[in-house]
Chain A
Amino acid sequence: MSFELFLQYLTNGISLGSLYALIAIGYTMVYGILRLINFAHGEIFMMSLYFAFYGVTMFSMPWYVSFVMAIIFTAALGMLVERAAYRPLRDSPRITVMVSAIGASFFMQNLGIVIFGGRPKAFPNISLLTDVIKIGTVTLQRLTLIIPVVTIVLLFGLLHLVNKTKTGMAMRAVSKDHETARLMGVDVNRTITITFGIGSILAAIGGIMWGSRFPQIQPVMGLMPGLKCFIAAVIGGIGNITGAVIGGFILGIGEIMIIAFLPDLTGYRDAFAFVLLIVILLFKPTGIMGEKISEKV
């Protein structure tokens, strides 16, 4: 393989990986704070695409207004899901909450089909993002470069928020121990709501860029990205934000490269993610960046 071709593969892999990373952060944050795998996250991602779609096509807002609105609505939706599906079960066993998460996921998928219809729709084409440019011998869409930059900027913003602000401190406290955090005067419910809001905002940003890159949306589209980003979060060490981003990159670049170097395996691309998950769980269940925590009884 020529170096140019390799670069072309690599840029595609990085941009796909960045998309995975953005969505994986949402999984990892919720897991970190609630020890809950938020299965509805993929559907929240899907909803963000429809919000953006309808903003542009139905209310004919300029795309940037529509995208901002979509991000706000998605954040509200994420918080609503937490309020309706998870908060009432705060003291229930974890498995109950997980069933509720799966329920929320199916509910939103079906709601999507009822409201939006089952036929796929074309996501609005924003030429500022999707125009094709040529750098040397590598041809790519502007988006391919924008996506990783956005992801990295958001990652640093988020790390700052979690490590340097009061809200972040509250999040870290809640993730360690709900009861003690409450005793220390942390509003646990508010902190959890904020976490869901932030996760959903990232899912919406990821969603909008996803839609611009793969301009086709339908109500069942949240499933596969949802699963893959969950895997990305586990690979990186679920609960760890930097880990989720690293996991996303590994998954995205890996998926692209496995086809580049083993063309016979193209049909098994999705399997790559799952095989990787099994390998990680067998050899390093806490993931790449995961810390060892002793289970409290």
Chain B
Amino acid sequence: MKKWLSILMIMLLVLSLGLTGCSSPAEAPAPAEDEEEVAPVDEDVIRIGVFQPLTGANAAGGALEVEGSRLANELYPEVLGKKIELVVVDNRSDAVEAASAVARLIERDNVVAIIGSWGSTFSMAAGDLVRDNQIPTVAASATNPMVTLDNDYYFRVCFLDPFQGTVMANYAYNGLGARTAGIIREVSNDYAVGLARFFEQAFIELTGDDNAIVEISDYNTGDQDFSSQLLNVSGKNPDVIFAPGNFTESALVIQQARNLGIDIPFIGGDTWETPEFIEIGGDAVEGAVFSTFFTSDVAITKESETFLTAYREQYGKEPAAVTALGYDAYILIRDAIERAGEVDSNKIRDEIAKTQGFEGAAGAINLDENGDPVKSAVIKVVENGEFVYLDTIQPF
């Protein structure tokens, strides 16, 4: 009996670990496009795939980007006299699912180009697939350098984490006068780990003190109790805590810090800019500062105006930065198709790679040889339950 029970339980354990791996369920609500059977070969329709987290930990971020791509699709529904159809699939905030979502877009839906994904981890998981199948892919807000590195088919329309990390280190050093910092990062997220490292490098360089980062503490996506990590970090009395990670977990981190009587300021990265961050964090996240891509306060380009007017009309609120990027990814691909003059994935790729001085809603896009743009960063702060614009940092 003993043996039988233990074998059974070990089997169960393995099984349940398997379940955690794909924690998001099989029958997520699919957008209408998703329910169609195998795409009929229709000469008059061009399909662009979108893979985003629509369920699971990162759902809110993915949803914001899809809003942008859809809006762009409504404003610019055609290219080369053909209708563009967006095929949206859910990657369930899971790297394995991200790869299969992209495989489905390529094999079943015959898309010519792909947009996505919120979360560098998911974009990286899809990297090999889009390269091997030669489908040009544009990430909207994936900031980890590895996404486009050594991948001729992956591009992006946002800045990179080395820049973002430096911006936040500068803000901590100059803006807050911090000389020591603690880091709490979401260790299962490539974005957070990368950003934390770039912040660390930049901050150490600024302070000239190798021990300026007093403590690094980790948590996993989906964790809910951060009290011990917080006590570890606050025990070292840093001037500021840099906490890159997913919006829900980050909001809980800050809230629990305040509940533990820790009043050290928190700063973070672009993932914080979702309504959920404020809803969940409540009063605790007041004063939290983060870097992001775009502010709706200042229309940077003519395209920004078009985007802002259309968005405000349709949603009756201010757009998030990632929504503007989801929009930009779409219009960049559409423009490349137009320049290519025909619907051929490789020609489209070449045209995207040539992009220079392209006017996006979130600023001009000039892609370098890696497929990365050089863009300015915006710093925002949470004030009275809203994201308020603080400053724009030009690329150095």
A residues adjacent to B (C-beta < 8 A):
5, 8-9, 12, 16, 37, 39, 98, 102, 106, 109-110, 113-114, 117-122, 125, 130, 132, 134, 139-141, 210, 213-216, 218-221, 223-224, 227, 230, 234, 255-257, 259-260, 263, 266-267, 269-270, 274, 277-278, 281-282, 285-286, 292-295
Contacts and interface: CB of A to CB of B under 8 A. Distances in A.
Contacts of B50: none
B220 interface: yes
A286 B25 contact: no
B92 to A, nearest CB: 8
B17 interface: yes
Interface of B: 1-6, 9-10, 12-13, 16-17, 19-20, 23-29, 54-57, 59-60, 63, 90, 187-188, 215, 217-220, 222-225, 227-229, 231-232, 235, 248, 251-252, 255, 258-261, 276, 279-280, 282
Nearest to B217: A266
B53 to A, nearest CB: 8
Given A274-B17, A281-B10, A285-B5, A9 B228 contact: yes
Contacts of A221: 222, 224
Contacts of B3: 285
B29 A113 contact: yes
Contacts of B2: 285-286, 292
A122 B276 contact: yes
B25 A120 contact: no
A267 B223 CA distance: 10
7 contacts: A12-B225, A118-B59, A120-B57, A223-B20, A277-B13, A285-B3, A294-B1
B31 to A, nearest CB: 12
Contacts of B5: 285-286
Contact of A118 (B56, B227, B251, B261): B56
A295 B2 CA distance: 9
A16 to B, nearest CB: 5
A270 B224 CA distance: 11
A256 B217 CA distance: 13
Nearest to A105: B19
A281 B29 contact: no
A263 B248 contact: no
Contacts of A281: 6, 9-10
Q: Give the interface centre of A110, A210, A286, A295 by most chain B CB atoms within 10 Å.
A: A110
Contacts of B232: 259-260, 263, 266
Contact of A215 (B4, B220, B280): B280
A110 B217 contact: no
A8 B231 contact: yes
Contacts of A294: 1
Contacts of A139: 259-261
A227 B3 CA distance: 21
Contacts of B25: 106, 109-110, 113, 220
Nearest to A13: B228
A109 B23 CA distance: 10
Nearest to A139: B261
Contacts of B276: 119-120, 122
Contacts of B19: 102, 223
A252 B280 CA distance: 24
A266 B141 CA distance: 28
A257 B10 CA distance: 25
B219 A12 contact: no
B195 to A, nearest CB: 16
A109 B92 CA distance: 13
A295 B4 contact: yes
Given A12-B231, A255-B228, 13 more contacts: A8-B231, A9-B227, A9-B231, A118-B24, A122-B279, A210-B224, A221-B224, A256-B227, A263-B217, A266-B219, A267-B219, A277-B13, A285-B3
B235 A267 contact: no
Contact of A224 (B20, B27, B215): B20
Contact of B12 (A12, A37, A132, A293): A37
B229 A259 contact: yes
Shortest Cβ-Cβ A-B pairs, 6 listed: A118-B55, A139-B261, A267-B218, A295-B1, A214-B224, A259-B228
Contacts of B59: 117-120, 218
Contact of B259 (A141, A218, A223): A141
B252 A216 contact: yes
A260 B228 contact: yes
Contacts of A263: 215, 217, 232
